[in-house]
Structures are given as C-alpha cells and as structure tokens.
C-alpha cells in the first residue's frame, strides 16, 4: 500500500512542479511572514496528553469515513472542544484529501495545523508552508537517512515542526539520529491494516522524555487514552473515532478525561 501511495505522490509532485517550480514556491515564501516559533511543538508540550484531531474523509483501510464532510466546521468543532492541533489529510487518491482543505482550515482556526501527507520531496514541505501548515509528517519508512535530516532542516528553517513517523525500533533510531524532536509511532500495520496501541507502548521506552512522543491510529476509547497516559505518551493522533462521532465536543471531552 505504501509503495502505491508513494508512486502516486511522486507523480502528483511532478505535476505540481509544472504549475509552480520549487524556486517559485521559495520566492512566494519570502513574501509571507515566516514565524520562527514552532507553534505545533508548543501546542503538544502541555502537562496533559494532547489531542491532534484529524480531518479525514476516507482511507485505504476503511473506505469512505465521512459522507457529510463539512471540513471547516469539523475543524472548528475540534478547536472548540479543546484539541491541541489539527491534522488535515491532503493526499487525494487514497484518502480523498485536498490541499484546499488544509488552506481553508488553517485560515479558520487558531490552533496549529499538520499537513498529513506522504512527503517524498522537499517541494511538499514548501507547499505545506504556503498552505498555512505549522507541521508536516515525515514517514521514516519512505525516506532515506539523508532525506530525513535534510527535510528536518528545511522545516526548522521555515519555522515549522515535523513528526517523524516510525513503526519499529530501527525506524525510531533513524528518526532520533536524524535529529527528530517529535516522534510518532503508528499503531496501524500497513501490511494487514490491523491496529494495536500496544505498539506505541512497547516503543515508548526507545524514546527519551525530552522528545515528544505521539501515538497514532486506532485510538477509540478513554481507556486507550488512559493506558497511553500511564505510559508517558505526550500526544495522540485520532482520525476515524472523531470523524465518526456525531458530537465531536462530547467525544473529545470524554477522551481527555480518560
């Protein structure tokens, strides 16, 4: 699945480059206010477990998740309910995401926004900046060590943060060696799509306390959150559970009180 997504993402990037070259994106960034204050990292640094609430229309594992996809209002509801940050899927072919969703959401909320996509080229980080994102996801499994280091440097130069996503001990080591200050462990096995939050708990001990540790995917109940809290997880990334919840405020409150 990851290979297919990566292939399609590379095609997407080369199409986008025909419309706006990398130099053109860099030039546009010169004319916006690049704030060097890393709001995404700050938002996750509270004492309580932070919730990154995801705006997710569809996924390869679940198909269509949200029929009624009023994305700006969903993001506003997340913010009003106490989410620390918002994740917006921009991948169009497998997740029915869009850059436009990110742009509009970033304009309409005050909390930081993560561009959730499959970054395969530095170009996508500059795009994210221009769309209003405060952070990007860098997936260790699809990037070389050199790319991880280089892309982390670019995010810092742009005043942004990056979650480096890892699935196992080796990828965590690579993330840390590259200089990651935020590590996300995905609980979803991308071979069979099974989810197990114990994956985060098992890998928590591989990451020092001064690095922000996020547990991603498959989080459904306040008991899940309580278990992650007990194991010093700093933040959780939740998509489907919130998207399917008719009252997102009640659901976020319930999860936070776990």
Ligand X SMILES: O=C(O)c1ccccc1NCC(=O)[C@H](O)[C@H](O)COP(=O)(O)O
Counting Cβ atoms within 10 Å, is residue 146 exposed (0-12), middle (13-18) or buried (19+)?
A: exposed
Instruction: State the nearest-atom distance from the C-beta of 62 to ligand X, in Å.
Output: 6
Neighbours of 250 (CB within 10 A): 11
Is residue 240 annotated as a catalytic residue, yes or no?
no
Q: Is 60 exposed, middle or buried (0-12, 13-18, 19+ CB in 10 A)?
A: middle
Q: Of the listed 77, 91, 127, 165, which one is catalytic?
A: 165
User: By C-beta, is 9 or 134 nearer to ligand X?
Assistant: 9
> ∠103-49-222 over CA atoms, to 5°?
100
Min separation Cβ 65 and ligand X, Å? 8
CA 33 – CA 72 distance, rounded (Å): 23
Q: Which is nearer to ligand X, 25 or 203 (CB)?
A: 203
Q: Which is nearer to ligand X, 25 or 225 (CB)?
A: 225
Give dist(CA 143, CA 166) in Å, integer. 11
Question: Which secondary structure element, helix H or strand E, spans residue 249, and what is its range?
Answer: helix 248-256
Annotation marks residue 116 as catalytic: yes
Smallest distance, Å, CB 142 to ligand X?
10
Q: What does residue 48 show for φ and ψ, rounded to 5 degrees?
A: -80, 160
Residue 165 bears catalytic tag: yes
Cβ-proximal residue to ligand X, closest one: 239
149 assigned to active site? no
One of 56, 57, 129, 248 is an active-site residue; which one? 56
Please report, as ranges, the residues that interact with ligand X according to CB under 6 A. Answer: 1, 54, 56, 59-61, 186, 188, 190, 216-219, 237-241
User: Which residue, 163 or 178, is less far from ligand X as judged by CB?
Assistant: 163
In whole angstroms, what is the distance from residue 104 CA to residue 102 CA?
A: 6
54 is catalytic: yes
Task: Please identify, using beta-carbon distances, which residue of 13 and 88 lies nearer to ligand X.
Answer: 88
For residue 244, the minimal CB distance to ligand X (Å) is 9
SS3 53: strand
Q: Which residues are annotated as catalytic? A: 54, 56, 116, 165, 186, 216-217
């Amino acid at each position: 699945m990851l290979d297919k997504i990566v292939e399609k993402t590379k095609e997407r990037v080369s199409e986008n480059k025909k419309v706006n070259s990398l130099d053109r994106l860099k030039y546009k960034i010169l004319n916006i206010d690049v704030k060097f204050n890393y709001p995404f990292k700050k938002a996750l640094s509270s004492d309580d477990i932070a919730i990154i609430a995801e705006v997710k229309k569809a996924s390869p594992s679940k198909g269509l998740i949200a029929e009624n996809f009023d994305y700006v209002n969903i993001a506003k509801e997340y913010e009003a309910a106490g989410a620390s940050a918002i994740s917006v899927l921009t991948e169009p072919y497998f997740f029915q995401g869009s850059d436009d969703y990110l742009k509009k959401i970033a304009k309409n909320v005050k909390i930081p926004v993560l561009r959730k996509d499959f970054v395969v080229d530095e170009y996508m980080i500059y795009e994210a900046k221009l769309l209003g994102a405060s952070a990007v996801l860098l997936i260790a499994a699809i990037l070389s060590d050199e790319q991880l280091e280089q892309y982390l440097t670019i995010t810092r130069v742009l005043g942004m943060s990056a979650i480096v996503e890892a699935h196992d001990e080796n990828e965590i080591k690579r993330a840390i060696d590259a200089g990651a200050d935020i590590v996300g462990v995905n609980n979803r096995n991308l071979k069979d799509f099974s989810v197990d939050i114990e994956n985060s708990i098992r890998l928590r001990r591989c990451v020092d306390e001064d690095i922000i540790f996020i547990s991603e995917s498959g989080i459904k109940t306040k008991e899940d959150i309580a278990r992650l809290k007990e194991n010093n997880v700093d933040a959780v990334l939740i998509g489907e559970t919130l998207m399917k919840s008719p009252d997102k405020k009640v659901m976020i409150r319930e999860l936070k009180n776990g």
